[in-house]
Structure 1
Amino acid sequence: MNRTFGPPPSPAEFEAIARTAFARLPAEFAAHLGDLVMSVEEFADEETLAAMGIEDPFELTGLFEGIGLTEQSIADSGQMPNRVRLFRQPILDEWIADGHDLEHLIAHVVVHEIGHHFGLSDEDMHALEDAAD
Structure 2
Amino acid sequence: MPLEVSRSRFEDLVEDALAGLPPEVEAMLDNVAVMVTDGHPGDPLGRYEGVPRTARGDYGLMEMPDRITIYRVPLCAHARDEDDLVREVRITVVHELGHHLGIDDDRLHELGYG
Deviation of residue 92 (structure 1)? 0.5
Q: Is the 8 A contact 2:43 2:71 kept in 1?
A: no
Q: How many residues align?
A: 111
- Residue equivalent to 1:120: 103
Q: 1:100 offset after TM fit, Å? A: 6.1
2:89 to 106, 109, 123: 106
Select the structure that is richer in helix: 1
Q: Does 1:26 align with 2:22?
A: yes
TM-score for both structures, normalised by structure 1? 0.74
After superposition, residues 84-99 of structure 1 pair within 5 angstroms as 84-96=68-80
CA distance in 2, matches of 1:36, 1:70: 14
Distance change (3 Å), C-alpha of 1:124 and 1:32: same
Which deviations, in whole Å up to 9, do the C-alpha atoms of 1:22-59 show, x marking residues without a partner? 11100000011123211111117xxxxxxxxxxxx514
User: How much does 1:128 deviate?
Assistant: 2.2
Give the drift of 1:83: 1.3
Identity of aligned residues (%): 32
Q: Which residue of 1 aligns with 2:50?
A: 66
Output the amino acid matched with 1:107: R
| Contact 2:38-2:73 at 8 Å conserved across structures | yes
Give 2:7's aligned residue: 11
Please list every run of 5 or more consecutive structure 1 residues that lacks an aligned counterpart in the other structure: 1-6, 45-56
The gaps in structure 2 that reach 5 residues or longer are none
CA distance in 2, matches of 1:25, 1:63: 18
User: How far apart, CA to CA, are the structure 1 residues paired with 2:48 and 2:19?
Assistant: 17
Distance in 1 (CA, whole Å) between partners of 2:94 and 2:88 is 10
* d(CA) in 2 for partners of 1:21, 1:99: 14
**RMSD between aligned residues:** 2.3
